[in-house]
């Protein structure tokens, strides 16, 4: 983790462009402004010191806060090892507060998306395998290739065009579905309202994943149902449903569980396209904005937590795999 953090810090800080250049209306940032910001952001320090301050804070050493060349007061940063990821260059607020808000929204969207993916992909993959080369299988295979080929952003635009622009609620005359957001502002909580706001972003997120997972499961299931123990089970007179769904599916799901666990970090990272198109205030947009602004503290916080999430997901995948497959032991 230490090595990763050093690598990330170097990459983020040395990438072309920086927080001291103008953008938007402020493309002409004046040198006087640059000098002030440099000091306020701590960018007047050499890179190695910036990393040390990011890691363990700077409240143990004096720094020059007013640009007179004299180090007159102690810094205020505590460093990430003490839970202080610093303040955003953009908002000047603690980055963890902002991440916390965005994470809740992303976790909500991605959890629902992954659940829907599982609910669709598993039965579709199993049926495709069990009824290999049937019309259903051929249709699913065709749709899967189409689903994988469709650009996500384009799909989102089409969904908005169809369900927000073209289709209207026959009773109220309003658009059938909202173009984004999490719920209707000013309205009291309603499960229907929340669900309506989920349909389009979840659909956009689900398509690619469903096609990938269902194809994977189909392939895995086909491997399993041609194995000897399945044939034995059938020969012993067990019903097909019991053979496929009790014995075969459990084993076919094993590799999928691993992949699913490895995809769990998306619950933290979110999906940039979905969040941009459907105005979802989540982690994807937060990261994108931070990258554009070269908001180093925000970028480092997201990347560091994201790295931890990936490590955790890998660990989880290993643990779950060992639990599900008794042949695997970690000594």
Partner 1 sequence: MNNKSRWFIISAILIVIGLLSVGCAKETAAPTSDQPVTTTEEAVPTEEIAPVDATEKSQIVIVIAEDPPSFNATVGQTGFDSLVMELVMLSMADLDEAGNAFPELAAELPTVENGDVVIDEENGTMDVTWKLRQDIQWADGVPVTAEDVVFTYNAVVDPEYGYWINGIDYVDGVEKIDDYTAVVHYNTIYPGYLTQFGGYVMAIWPAHYCKAEQGFTQWDCGLQPLSNGPYILKEWIQNDHLTFERNPTYFEAGKPTIDQIIVKIIPDEAVRKQMLINGDADVDMWTVEPVIAELENYKDVVEVSLSPVDRWVMRIFFNLAAKGTTDAEATPHPVLSDVRVRRAIRMAIDVETIGKEFFLGYADPVWTEFFRPPFNVCDIPKPVYDLEAAKALLEEAGWIDQDGDGVRECRGCTTGAEEGYPMEMEFITYSEYGEALDLTQEFIAEKLGEMGIKLNISRVEGTVLWDTSTNGGIEQSGNFDIDIWDDGYSGNDPTDFLWGYYYSTAAVPDAGLNYGRYINPQVDELIDASYTLDEGLRQESFCQMAEILEQDLPELLLFTTVDANAHSTRLQGVQSNANEIVTWNVADWTLK
* Rounded distance between C-alpha atoms, residue 96 and residue 314, angstroms: 24
Nearer to partner 1, 81 or 181 (CB): 181
Give the C-alpha separation, 24 to 10, whole Å: 26
Instruction: Work out how close the CB of 64 gets to partner 1 at its nearest, in angstroms, rounded to a whole number.
Output: 10
Q: How far apart are CA 245 and CA 123, in angstroms?
A: 10
Q: Least distance (Å) from partner 1 to the CB of residue 216?
A: 18
Least distance to partner 1, CB of residue 21, Å? 4
Which residue, 32 or 331, is less far from partner 1 as judged by CB?
32
Reduced to 3 states (helix: H, G, I; strand: E, B; else coil), residue 279 is coil
The answer for residues whose C-beta is within 8 angstroms of residue 156's C-beta and 6 or more apart is: 200, 201, 204, 273, 274, 277, 278
**Least distance between partner 1 and beta carbon 323 (Å):** 18
| Shortest CB 310 distance to partner 1, Å | 23
Q: For residues 93 and 232, which CB has a smaller minimum distance to partner 1 in the complex?
A: 93
Identify which of residues 76 and 142 has a Cβ nearer to partner 1 in the complex: 76
What CA–CA distance (Å, rounded) separates 310 from 291? 20
- For partner 1, the closer of residues 112 and 254 by Cβ is 112
Structure tokens, 270: 């979110």
Cβ proximity of 287 and 302 under 8 Å: yes
């Amino acid at each position: 983790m230490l090595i990763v953090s050093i690598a990330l810090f170097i990459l983020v800080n040395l990438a072309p462009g920086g927080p001291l250049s103008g953008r938007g209306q402020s493309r002409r940032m004046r040198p006087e402004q640059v000098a002030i910001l440099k000091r306020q952001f701590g960018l007047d320090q050499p890179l190695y010191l910036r990393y040390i301050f990011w890691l363990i804070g700077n409240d143990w050493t004096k720094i020059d806060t007013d640009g007179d060349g004299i180090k007159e007061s102690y810094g205020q940063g505590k460093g990430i090892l003490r839970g202080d990821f610093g303040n955003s260059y953009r908002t000047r607020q603690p980055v963890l507060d902002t991440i916390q808000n965005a994470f809740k929204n992303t976790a909500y969207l991605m959890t629902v998306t992954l659940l829907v993916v599982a609910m669709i992909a598993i039965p579709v993959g199993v049926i495709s395998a069990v009824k290999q080369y049937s019309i259903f299988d051929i249709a699913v295979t065709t749709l899967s290739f189409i689903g994988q080929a469709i650009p996500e952003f384009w799909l989102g635009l089409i969904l908005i065009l169809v369900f927000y622009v073209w289709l209207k609620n026959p009773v109220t005359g309003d658009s059938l579905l909202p173009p984004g957001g999490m719920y209707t502002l000013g309205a009291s909580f309603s499960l229907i309202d929340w669900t309506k706001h989920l349909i389009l972003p979840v659909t956009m997120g689900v398509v690619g994943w469903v096609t990938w997972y269902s194809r994977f499961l189909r392939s895995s299931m086909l491997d399993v149902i041609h194995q000897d123990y399945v044939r034995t089970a059938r020969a012993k007179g067990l019903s097909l449903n019991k053979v496929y769904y009790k014995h075969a599916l459990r084993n076919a799901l094993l590799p999928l569980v691993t992949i699913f666990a490895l995809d769990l970090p998306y619950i933290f990272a979110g999906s940039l396209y979905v969040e941009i198109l459907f105005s979802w205030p989540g982690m994807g947009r937060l990261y994108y904005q931070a990258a554009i602004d070269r908001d180093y503290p925000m970028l480092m916080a997201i990347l560091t937590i994201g790295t931890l999430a990936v490590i955790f997901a890998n660990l989880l995948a290993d643990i779950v795999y060992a639990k599900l497959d008794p042949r695997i032991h970690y000594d």
